[in-house]
Chain A
């Protein structure tokens, strides 16, 4: 099994075509859409978490590339500045991915970066500016 977060850029010629659904139908892959956007010039951006058997995953990515989709790993990371974080927990209900959770015993906020989808909602919501975006 493999599960990776990837960024797909669709040229405007491809935005109206069924492509991602084939990952499920023909390559038996599962995906979660983390972010989707079509720009005014009709280029598409899709951030996915894609998972499935290793071989299927490779073939699926190969298929995407052949159709003209630009595939990149998700390289944007949200990092917590541990010195600035006060563990107040105001970010906890804001995080849509469940990556920020209060540890019941210590009352500290744990940041599970593997669950983070880099949506950046916490970055602006953190009053102390402890959540930082790194590229």
Chain B
């Protein structure tokens, strides 16, 4: 029997909703069958906890006396530059931002111990941050310099706003060359020394809703320990990739742009991250509830690691040169066993995404919903699906001639 989000929310308000995690639903469907599972279960919680580079936060620092217009000026937080292109007192910091005078990769591989992601973690941890700003001065905003400690508690708004999170599936990264390489997928040892992947697999939000039938614009979610929303498809959203018969993409596909109140978040779910030789970023926890509106949606949430496939990609040549080519396909069941076979060789695997943390998030979200604290958001619009024709495009360079 089909349900609506409205009906499920009524049950949540009465404390009567039946909520399970995307891990638990697998056995329930196995034992009870799809029909009974779809009838009895109201919500399945999904989650992921991993590095998400396209993340950042904006905040309003409040007016100072005399006034300063940060817009068009320069500013840094704990020596990490922040973006000043918005009005007088709004700043945005991206997770990948790095100090101007940092060593970066000058001594290779750089350690990238402190960047935008770390600033965001410190902000959420309610630490005082050093704001240094310069402006050009106007009649209405005369001040040209500002040096002050700021704290999230004193900011007017502090909002996490991430252009691309929660990738629906991701590559397995390997290194075919004979020297070690340092990538955003971690350290890759030469000659297939290791294989790194980055997904919660059967718990991952968009792998449980492969056609974006319930996760859309307006979906309410667990974001960094607080409450957030899906606000758009993420950048590089690519729903048209090849899919298995179960609808699950076999390569990186859908993405989400998400937003939430940074003041509600907790550093435990939002960690500054250093990728050796690559840069600084943010590791983030996201949990998304899927309303079980019908049997089809229920079946999708019961997907297991062994049914989710992804591509093995060489990061020494194929990825950096933008070439096409997969070294083969593996499923997450194989990856999670700790060893896969690539070109006849046994290769140990490592996951950049924490499955135990994803389980914790899915359980937390489950509790919130069962307690009646968290109602499901009804999408006001849906994300472009596989039939939309929407896909990611590379940049075709048009060289600029001298003087042009």
Contacts and interface: CB of A to CB of B under 8 A. Distances in A.
Interface of A: 84, 86-94, 102, 106-108, 124-125, 127-129
A90 B186 contact: yes
A89 B351 contact: yes
A93 B113 contact: no
Nearest to A128: B271
Contacts of B193: 93
Given A86-B49, A93-B194, A124 B276 contact: yes
A130 B283 CA distance: 13
Query: Does more than half of chain A's interface fall in helix, strand or loop, or is it mixed?
Result: loop
Nearest to B348: A93
A128 B357 CA distance: 13
Given A124-B111, A125-B187, A93 B350 contact: yes
Contacts of A88: 49-50, 350-354, 357
B103 interface: no
Contacts of B196: 90, 93
Contacts of B338: 92, 102
A107 B187 contact: no
A132 B404 CA distance: 52
Given A124-B111, A128-B273, A89 B283 contact: no
A128 B283 CA distance: 8
Contacts of A108: 356
Contacts of B274: 127, 129
Contacts of B281: 127
Contacts of A91: 350
Nearest to A100: B350
Given A107-B356, A124-B111, A125-B276, A90 B350 contact: yes
B186 A86 contact: no
A89 B348 CA distance: 11
27 contacts: A86-B283, A86-B356, A86-B357, A88-B49, A88-B50, A88-B350, A88-B351, A89-B350, A90-B196, A90-B351, A90-B352, A91-B350, A92-B348, A92-B349, A92-B350, A93-B194, A93-B195, A94-B350, A102-B338, A107-B355, A107-B356, A107-B359, A124-B111, A127-B51, A127-B283, A127-B352, A128-B271
Contacts of A87: 354-357
B130 interface: no
A128 B282 CA distance: 9
Contacts of B356: 86-87, 106-108
Nearest to B49: A86
Interface string B354-389: 111101000000000000000000000000000000
Interface string B36-53: 000000000000011100
A127 B350 contact: no
B206 interface: no
B204 to A, nearest CB: 14
B259 interface: no
B13 interface: no
Interface string B117-155: 000000000000000000000000000000000000000
Contacts of B336: 107
B251 interface: no
